[in-house]
Each structure stands twice: as C-alpha cells, then as structure tokens.
Chain A
Amino acid sequence: KAGVTQTPRYLIKTRGQQVTLSCSPISGHRSVSWYQQTPGQGLQFLFEYFSETQRNKGNFPGRFSGRQFSNSRSEMNVSTLELGDSALYLCASSLAGGRLETQYFGPGTRLLVL
C-alpha cells in the first residue's frame, strides 16, 4: 500500500504571495492532519480534517487554511506569506483520527519564503 504523498516537495515563494500544498493520504485513511516544523518552534499541529470537515485546529493565524476533498486528499493554503512561514510542512493520515490510531507521515513539503 502506498504511503502518504505530498506535493510539491520543495517550494520557493516571496513575501506576500500565497501557496497551496497537497497531501494524498494512505488509501482508506480518511483523517488528514497537518503539522509545521521549524527549527525554533519544532513540530506544531496546524489542523485536522475528516470527511471534508475541519475538526481540530491549532494555534495559527487565519492565513493558514485547508480543505479536504471527497477522496480524502487534502490541501493547505497559506496566504500573504511571511518570512516566518518558511518551514517543513508535514501531512499525516490515519483511518479516522480515533483514540488508538497511529498517524503516518508523508515526506513533507519544504517551503522557503524569501
């Protein structure tokens, strides 16, 4: 079974632009979570989607948004990019985001904001 895939793997943007990242979960997984990883803040939870609904959101500004499609693929969007948005963005999937489930991570998208 294929793992979690993320596209693109690398992105370079300039301040003020917006960006969209994509995540395809493991087949059969319906919960998709997004995390931001930076050297200063470590790994931080962004949000989680299940059945096209955002169920859980971390402490990030409204510039960070996401959505999930009926096939469970998810996208996250960052508008009005800031230098501090440079990070590795990781997507993780699980069956339904339930109590005893394991999250499986993709390789990440590395975003550099200039």
Chain B
Amino acid sequence: AQSVTQPDIHITVSEGASLELRCNYSYGATPYLFWYVQSPGQGLQLLLKYFSGDTLVQGIKGFEAEFKRSQSSFNLRKPSVHWSDAAEYFCAVVLFSGGYNKLIFGAGTRLAVHP
C-alpha cells in the first residue's frame, strides 16, 4: 500500500543551523511528492513539489528537497534555519484513484528552533 514515513517526530535545531527533514515513501509508480508546512492553528502551506525532471527542487522560504528514487526518499533541507521556521512539516505523496488524486500524508515532523 502507498505510504509516507517521516521518521522524526520532533527535531530541535539552533537558529542559523542547517536542517534536514526526512521523508520516505512507498509507491509503485512514479511518485508525485509534496512538502507542506503548518504553523500552529493554521492550514497547510505548500513549500515545494516534485513531479518530474530535476531531482533537486527549490521551494519557498529558502527550502529545497531532493528526490532520490533509489532510496525512496524526498528529504527537505534548509541551509540556515530562522526562528520563524518553527512549525510542523508534512511530506505527502499523491495517490491516484480512478483518475483523480488524493494526498497521503506522513505523520509530520515538528520543528523547534532555539535562539
């Protein structure tokens, strides 16, 4: 069955440090992958997406993600974290059913940023 695993439930980093959030997927066909961010009490904001082509994708707020088919991974990175990046991050894969899509989400990684 299609699934998304985010191994880290909580991550704490210092402001200015680099960040990598892990995401592994299980999907039989070519995956279409997303990273969303959710601030407390808010909905989901799209950070970036991968459909095809260049395996390194750039997103908003200085985030990037790399698709590695051999590792079934789509890890999110940021070279220097800002305090405002504290939020919950969700990786998702599109599941196609009957010609239309729905998102399968990972459990999320909650990021805390120390000053």
- Using a CB–CB cutoff of 8 Å, the interface residues on chain A facing chain B are 4, 6, 31, 33, 35, 42-43, 45, 48, 50, 55-56, 58, 90, 92, 97-108, 110
In the bound assembly, the distance between CA atoms of A56 and B95 in angstroms comes to 11
In the bound assembly, the distance between CA atoms of A110 and B41 in angstroms comes to 9
The answer to whether residues A90 and B44 also contact, given A99-B32, A100-B32, A105-B36 and a CB cut-off of 8 A, is yes
In the bound assembly, the distance between CA atoms of A97 and B95 in angstroms comes to 11
Q: Does the CB pair A107–B46 fall under 8 Å?
A: no
Total contacts A-B at CB 8 Å:
60
In the A-B complex, list the 8 residue pairs whose CB atoms are closest, starting with the nearest: A43-B105, A105-B44, A97-B100, A105-B43, A107-B43, A45-B102, A108-B43, A42-B107
Q: Does the CB pair B46–A104 fall under 8 Å?
A: yes
Chain B residues with Cβ below 8 Å from A58 are: 102
The answer to whether residues A42 and B36 also contact, given A33-B102, A56-B98, A99-B96 and a CB cut-off of 8 A, is no
Majority SS at the chain B contact face: strand
Asked if B17 is at the interface of the complex by the 8 Å CB criterion, the answer is: no
Q: Does the CB pair A103–B100 fall under 8 Å?
A: no
Chain A residues with Cβ below 8 Å from B96 are: 99
Asked if B42 is at the interface of the complex by the 8 Å CB criterion, the answer is: yes
In the bound assembly, the distance between CA atoms of A97 and B34 in angstroms comes to 15
Write 6 A-B pairs (CB below 8 A) sorted by A numbering.
A33-B102, A33-B103, A92-B103, A101-B101, A102-B46, A105-B46
